[in-house]
Amino acid sequence: MKKEIKKIALLTGGGDCSGLNAVIRAVVKSAILKYNYEVIGFMGGYHGLLMDDFIKLDLKTVAGIFHQGGTILKMSNKDNLFNFKTVDDKGKTIYKDMSDVAIENLKKHNVDALVIIGGDGTLTSARDFSRKGVNVVGIPKTIDNDVPATEITFGYRTALDHIMLSLDALHTTAYSHDRVMILEVMGRNAGWLALEGGIAGSADVILIPEIPYDINSVAKTVFDRYNRGSKFTIICVSEGAKPIDGDVTIKKLDKDSPDAVKLGGVGDILADQLEKVIKPVTGQDIRVTTLGYIQRGGVTNTFDRVLGTKYGSYAVDMIARNEFGRMVVIRNDHMDSVRLEEVVGSGKTGQTSSGGARIVNPHGDLVNAAKDIGISFGD
């Protein structure tokens, strides 16, 4: 029997990105104007759901937020309510399943459906709440563009703009000083940001996780450019890039995060390796810029404003149709949905067991086009 919907809630979990406020705005405006639903938002992701920290969301609340990066609902990537870190009476750290407390909060406020916006970890908990009877609709979020089942995620295109503009800026100083400039970008184990950002920013070398690199091949590109009169080189490297027969560079381990392994530092290692080969021959200096969290912030671009609107409004339509336990996707440029299990797998509670992230095809059209115009991948 189709459930009558009167009130919905939403939350944003994981890391921030541009376009989140566009999604929130679309959910609220569609829910109120099209279906006359009441809407509330839990603050700080799942932590707000646990602590019953929420705000009322109406047309006034979402006015003026369309262009803003980040999220007015705040977010956290450290609160898995199915394995929640707490302290017992003796001061010892323990982990407890607090999901029932969150569910009682939803019941207390007569919430008929919950929109959950996030990446793998957030959507894994969305799947688990769905298994416990919560009417859940998921919306994929990441600048890395690596969520399975959907063609593109909001925030990705704005992050690409930041990478492109950064590479444009590095070109001027690289040319002026005849330097090798390395830009390290995010992406985890998927190379989309480095690949498309590097192409748009006229990088000479692009290093991505899907194509392990040979440092001698990278050096050869620098030498070839130098010998033909181009005495500078621009390299765009993904944080997850790794050398042939090597491994990724780990910046630190954060056991309290669902994504415990924090990548970073490959740009510095690459610079050290290249300098030993290049500087004795050409005299070129090598400089590294790590773009970091700049990729996540700032004003949301046109594409992500529109994409976020499509995701948010479609999620509300799914609620009206009682399509729960599913995530909004874009396939063949059309809105659709898939079961959450297709995204994060059907494993045990708290465990993501999907087939892996959506990664770059090393033999695909985009890589081939880049190679056709002379971009090296260090292979």
Q: Is 91 left (phi over 0), alpha (psi -120 to 50) or beta?
A: left
Structure tokens at 1: 């029997």
Instruction: Return the active site residues.
Output: 144
Structure tokens at 154: 């909001």
Q: For residues 202, 208, 214 and 216, what is the CA-based torsion angle, rounded to 10 degrees?
A: 20
Length of the chain: 379
SS3 sequence, the chain? CCCCCCEEEEEECCCCCCCHHHHHHHHHHHHHHHHCCEEEEECCCHHHHHHCCEEEECCCCCCCCCCCCCCCCCCCCCCCCCCEEEECCCCCEEEECCHHHHHHHHHHCCCCEEEEEECHHHHHHHHHHHHCCCCEEEEECCCCCCCCCCCCCCCHHHHHHHHHHHHHHHHHHHHHHCCEEEEEECCCCCCHHHHHHHHHCCCCEEECCCCCECHHHHHHHHHHHHHCCCCCEEEEEECCCCECCCCCCEEEECCCCCCCEEECCHHHHHHHHHHHHHHHHHCCCEEEEECHHHHCCCCCCHHHHHHHHHHHHHHHHHHHCCCCCEEEEEECCEEEEEEHHHHHCCCCCCCCCCCCCCCCCCCCHHHHHHHHCCCECCC
Burial, 373: exposed, middle or buried (Cβ in 10 Å; 0-12, 13-18, 19+)? exposed
Specify whether the CB–CB gap between 158 and 114 falls below 8 A.
no
